[in-house]
Chain A
């Protein structure tokens, strides 16, 4: 079965410090991996995705994520956090073997990022 785990409910960092939001996944086949961000009272916005190729993926707003197949992880990172990065972050996976042509994504439970001035 496919699943996604975000082990931290909340991550607190000081502005200007690097940040990491963790994500691990479990799939039967090769994964498509995604990060989305949700600001208060808004829908989810796409940040970045891994489909194939380079393990380091760069996305919107200076975020990046590293695909690690051996550790089944896809952690979200940013070298220098901004107060405006404070939001709810979701990791999502699509198992290409199981999902077939449905395009279904399975989401983690979300991690709240709090960046303090």
Chain B
């Protein structure tokens, strides 16, 4: 049972490049979330989804887009990366109360 799997684990981007982070869960959870973790700021919600085909903005959505075409996958896209998007990104899924987290993606934008 893999739980929540994030790919890639590490990535270095140049300013202006684009990329997609993939989150996959095998627990049949309805809810999925993307957070970013920055020192001293805890985890901040970027976007979330309450079911297949639905997405919604979180606390810090600017510069990111998401898609949930299949229930088990939640994709986070950066169209034009900026140094301010250097962070550790965590995906989580939930049946309704409490999360299961992936191991994170460390992204550096230079």
Q: Mark A residues whose CB is within 8 Å of B.
A: 4, 9, 32, 34, 36, 41-46, 49, 51, 90, 94, 101-110
In the complex, are the beta carbons of B104 and A43 less than 8 A apart? yes
Q: Are A109 and B41 in contact (CB under 8 A)?
A: yes
Using A102-B48, A102-B56, A104-B33 as known contacts, say yes or no to A46 and B98 having CB atoms under 8 A apart: yes
Closest 6 A-B residue pairs measured CB to CB? A43-B101, A109-B42, A107-B43, A107-B42, A43-B103, A103-B31
B96 at the binding interface (Cβ < 8 Å):
yes
Pick the contact of B40 from A9, A102, A104, A106 — CB < 8 Å?
Answer: A9
Chain B residues within an 8 Å CB radius of A105 = 99
Asked whether, in the complex, the Cβ of B101 is within 8 Å of the Cβ of A104, the reply is no
Q: List 29 A-B contacts (CB under 8 A).
A: A4-B42, A9-B40, A32-B98, A34-B98, A41-B104, A42-B103, A42-B104, A43-B90, A43-B101, A43-B102, A44-B90, A44-B92, A44-B99, A44-B101, A46-B99, A49-B98, A51-B97, A90-B42, A90-B43, A94-B97, A101-B50, A101-B96, A102-B48, A102-B56, A104-B33, A104-B48, A105-B99, A107-B35, A110-B42
Give, as a whole number of angstroms, the nearest-CB distance from B53 to chain A. 15
Do A108 and B97 contact each other (CB < 8 Å), given the known contacts A43-B102, A102-B56? no
Residues of A within 8 A of B41 (CB): 109
Knowing A43-B90, A43-B104, A49-B97 are in contact, say whether A104-B43 is a contact too (CB < 8 A): no
- Please name the residue on chain A nearest to B6 by beta carbon: A43
In the assembled complex, B100 has its CB within 8 A of some CB on chain A:
yes
The residue in chain B whose Cβ has the minimal distance to the Cβ of A100 is B50
Could you list 13 further interchain pairs (A-B, Cβ under 8 angstroms) beyond the known A44-B43, A106-B45? A41-B104, A42-B104, A44-B90, A94-B97, A102-B48, A103-B50, A103-B94, A103-B97, A104-B45, A107-B35, A107-B42, A108-B42, A110-B40
